Amino acid sequence: MQANSGAAPVPKRYKVVLLGDSGVGKSSLVQRLKGEWNENLSSTVGASFYRYTPLATSAAHAGAKLSFDIWDTAGQERYRSLASMYYRGAAAAVITYDLTSHDSFEHAKYWVRELQTNSPDTLVLVFGNKKDLGEAARQVPAAESQAYCVENALLRAEGSAKNAEGVVEAFDQIALKLLETNSVNSVREGGVVGQGNSNFVANSSANQKKEVNCCI
């Protein structure tokens, strides 16, 4: 029996891991993807799992369907040794830092090196969060992060989870890049299982401000 050629395509699932210091806003990024916001969000313990369907589209990938299995990891030092369990086999990683903390940017470089060594096929986007605090509070110049991303062939974005600036667009950028490269790290059926599974689909990114830079 021949397969039905008119059947709807099965969405590709990609594992995406969030890495970075505690307090830089990793969980807040996920909140914004869900259309939520909590000023007093508690720190992640271990890791949390969410499923997200990006809205990225382009003429070259019309009709393509994909979803992200997002692992939000704890940023505390004591959990660092566990991170490899979550980034292993990831199609993409969002390494987040606080634009008002140069130390957090330096620590983000640790995760870049970690992935370059242990998961070289993982697409990396470096996200500078807390842009809402203004230029006077900024400790990481845009030119510095831009130069670093160019040197290391990374995607780059800045924005604010609090103000819903640039978050959806950053994940859309990852989606487009994965479709363009036809990533081999898509998740096989049943390949990712997480406790506290929360499924959600974005509604619209049309009203969000955008500042996403591809440095590849």
CATH number at residue 159: 3.40.50.300
Amino acid occupying residue 111: W
pLDDT in tens, 17-72: 999 998 899 989 998 888 888 776 555 544 567 888 876 554 445 566 788 999 98
Which one-letter DSSP state was computed for residue 165? B
Domain assignment of residue 140, yes or no: yes
Residue 149 near residue 213, CB atoms below 8 Å: yes
Residue 168, domain extent = 12-181
- Nearest partner of 59 among 204, 215, 174, 180, judged by Cα: 180
Residue 75 near residue 21, CB atoms below 8 Å: yes
Report the pLDDT value the prediction gives residue 213, as an integer from 0 to 100: 44
pLDDT in tens, 88-124: 889 999 999 999 999 999 999 999 999 999 999 999 9
Domain assignment of residue 194, yes or no: no
Domain assignment of residue 204, yes or no: no
Count up the domains in the chain and report the number.
1
Q: What is the mean pLDDT of residues 68-97?
A: 79
Domain assignment of residue 3, yes or no: no
pLDDT in tens, 146-182: 999 999 999 999 999 999 999 999 999 999 899 888 6
Report the pLDDT value the prediction gives residue 81, as an integer from 0 to 100: 64
**pTM for the predicted model, two decimal places:** 0.77
Question: Can you tell me the distance from the alpha carbon of 128 to that of 139, in angstroms, rounded to the nearest whole number?
Answer: 11
Domain assignment of residue 189, yes or no: no
Domain assignment of residue 197, yes or no: no
Domain assignment of residue 7, yes or no: no
